[in-house]
Amino acid sequence: MRRALLAVIAAGALLTGAACDSDANDSSAAAAPTASASPSASPEPDYSADTTLVCANMQKLYSAEMKEFGAAMGKLITYREAKQATEAKKAEDAAAAKLKAVAAKIRTVTAAAEDPEFQAAGSTSAAKVDASAADRAYIKKVKTLKDLNGTIEAQYAEWLSPAAGFCAPS
């Protein structure tokens, strides 16, 4: 998340610098008073306070819901290792249901964002989580706790991008 945030900040700084350079080289722009700027150009809305609030709600969601998903996956692994197929199937269903709940909550939390780009990112992240809940490829490939521990962080990052990119790392 930090790399993505830094890349966005760096790109913004480069674009701002380029815009300043082009204004400095344009003598007509330097001679024109600032009051004659295009009336249709309005300042970009500042979503930072709202984004901070939405990100706090996302963090709560990650902490609670993803913890529950991890617990469901732990039960699934335990039943698989014990060769209890019926219980393993129930645990797999529970893990998929947890993912569907996470997707719904991501949609709800990010839909409340004022920033339309954050809303769209939340919708994309929720769709990724929903897809994993539906096809269960990730759930099925995790056979041991070592598998889970080795893949879960990367899987969370995949599921939660691009929405997590709007939130500063904690």
Asked whether residue 18 is assigned to any structural domain, the reply reads: no
- Are 122 and 111 in contact by the 8 Å Cβ rule? The answer is yes
List, in sequence order, the alpha helices (H) in the chain. Answer: 2-25, 27-31, 48-61, 67-81, 85-111, 116-135, 137-141, 145-160
Asked whether residue 8 is assigned to any structural domain, the reply reads: no
User: CA–CA separation, 104 vs 25, rounded Å?
Assistant: 51
- Residue 114 has a pLDDT of 96
3-state SS assignment for residue 167: coil
In the numeric block, which tokens belong to residue 76? 């699934």
Asked whether residue 158 is assigned to any structural domain, the reply reads: yes
- Residue recorded with tokens 């930090």: 2
Total tally of structural domains belonging to the chain: 1
User: CA–CA separation, 97 vs 103, rounded Å?
Assistant: 10
3-state SS assignment for residue 143: coil
Residues of the domain holding 93: 50-170
Asked whether residue 34 is assigned to any structural domain, the reply reads: no
Q: Distance of alpha carbon 161 from its chain centroid, rounded?
A: 4
- Residue 11 has a pLDDT of 34
Asked whether residue 25 is assigned to any structural domain, the reply reads: no
CATH of the domain at 124: 1.20.120
Asked whether residue 3 is assigned to any structural domain, the reply reads: no
Asked whether residue 115 is assigned to any structural domain, the reply reads: yes
- Residue 39 has a pLDDT of 54
- Residue 57 has a pLDDT of 94
Mean pLDDT by 10 residues, the chain (170 residues): 33 35 43 50 88 94 88 95 95 95 95 96 96 92 90 89 83
Asked whether residue 67 is assigned to any structural domain, the reply reads: yes
